[in-house]
Amino acid sequence: MFRQLKNNKKGMMAVMMVLIIGATALILALSSVKLVVNDAQMTLDNKKGGESYSVADGCLEESLRKLRLDTSYTGETLNLSTGSCIIAVSANGNDRVLNIVGTVGDYTQTLQVSVTLDGNVITLNSRSEI
């Protein structure tokens, strides 16, 4: 009976080693999956952020076009196929400050642009992302 107990100890050690190696492999696999999921989320964030920037930039171009045609243009909300934007224009003499918020889903990009009007000529003074 003592011999059977000794043989079982060797088997138990083998089972313990298999369990330890299996647990280590499982931890490594779960860590890899977490890294892949985080990378996919960052990629989506970058893509949607870029799309919202493109929407805001396109709305900026449209607002400058409308401002050139009508110097009393005060802004509007535009619904596009890829998103929407809100344009607000504040005036101080010939100077205008354009605040544009481009939205795609839950992602937004805000641009603030300062321009000076001189007839049909629009001079860009500053442009910043907020």
Tens of each residue's pLDDT in the chain, 130 residues: 455 555 567 778 888 899 999 999 999 999 999 999 999 888 888 888 889 999 999 999 999 999 999 999 999 999 998 899 999 999 999 999 999 999 998 999 999 999 999 988 999 999 999 8
Q: Please give the pLDDT value at position 9.
A: 73
CA distances (Å), origin 70, targets 74, 78, 119: 9, 17, 10
Specify the CATH architecture of the domain 2-129. 2-Layer Sandwich (3.30)
Query: Chain centroid to CA 52: how far?
Result: 8
Q: Please give the pLDDT value at position 14.
A: 84
In the chain, where are the structural domains located? Answer: 2-129
Cβ atoms of 59 and 52 within 8 Å: the answer is no
Look at residue 130 and give its three-state secondary structure. Answer: coil
Q: Please give the pLDDT value at position 6.
A: 57
